Amino acid sequence: MEIPKVNYSVLLGFIELLDDAGSKAEIASFASKEDLNLDSLLPILESGEILGLIKVREGEVFMTQKAHFFIAASPKVRKKMLREIIVNIDIFKRIIELIKQKEDGYITKDELSEYFANHQIPFTVDTTDEYSNDFDSLIEWGRQGLVLNYDANDERLSLRQTV
């Protein structure tokens, strides 16, 4: 299941640095210049590709046209653009449908974990590794993309009114 594994601001910062570098760069030299180690760079590259903002080919990273529009947009427009991207990612489509099917308009964290287990979808919850906790990444991107609300006290996910 593809979920961006880095914080929104980290990915945005990376794309802005890439834009400053001329929209493309050789990965190893760019990482060295920006003092990025491979452990932190790989999740950034994977997340950017999941969202369609960058492409990685033959040791180089390129900004997509979508990324150019994204960084040129106002923060409000970025949120709308991100929402359009997020709602088309398979895991978010499934969660949106799951919540829409519920009469009370929400699902709990446990129900979500159970759903993924029943459908044999690898999904990690409550790990301490920032790059492997799928649930935290899901919430981060769902919130940033104005798709999901999460009540941490009750551990409930619901849809933002815009969905």
CB–CB of 5/47 below 8 Å?
Answer: yes
- Tell which residue, 102, 100, 106, 125, has the closest CA to residue 114: 125
Query: What is residue 122's predicted lDDT score, i.e. its pLDDT?
Result: 63
Mean pLDDT for the chain overall: 88
Provide mean pLDDT across the span 33-54.
91
Angle between helices 65-72 and 75-86 (to 10 degrees): 140
Domain ranges for the chain, please list them.
8-72, 75-159
**pLDDT tens digits, 55-109:** 999 999 999 999 999 999 999 999 999 999 999 999 899 999 999 999 999 999 9
Amino acid 135: pLDDT: 84
Which residue is associated with the tokens 């446990």? 110
**pTM for the model:** 0.84
Q: Cα–Cα distance between 159 and 24 in angstroms, integer? A: 36
How many whole angstroms separate alpha carbon 11 and alpha carbon 44?
A: 6
Number of neighbours of residue 67 by Cβ within 10 angstroms: 23
d(C-alpha 22, C-alpha 140), whole Å = 29
CA distance 35 to 151: 36
**Tens digit of pLDDT for each residue in 9-21?**
999 999 999 999 9
Q: Half-sphere exposure (CA, 13 Å, Cβ side) for 154? A: 9
Question: In which band, very low, low, confident or very high, does the pLDDT at 163 lie, cut at 50, 70 and 90?
Answer: very low
What is the structure's pLDDT at 125?
A: 64
Predicted local distance difference test score (pLDDT) of residue 162? 63
CATH architecture of 8-72: Orthogonal Bundle (1.10)
- What tokens were used for 20? 């400053």
DSSP string, 62-95: EE-HHHHHHHHS-HHHHHHHHHHHHTTSHHHHHH
- Can you read off the two tokens belonging to residue 11? 């990915």
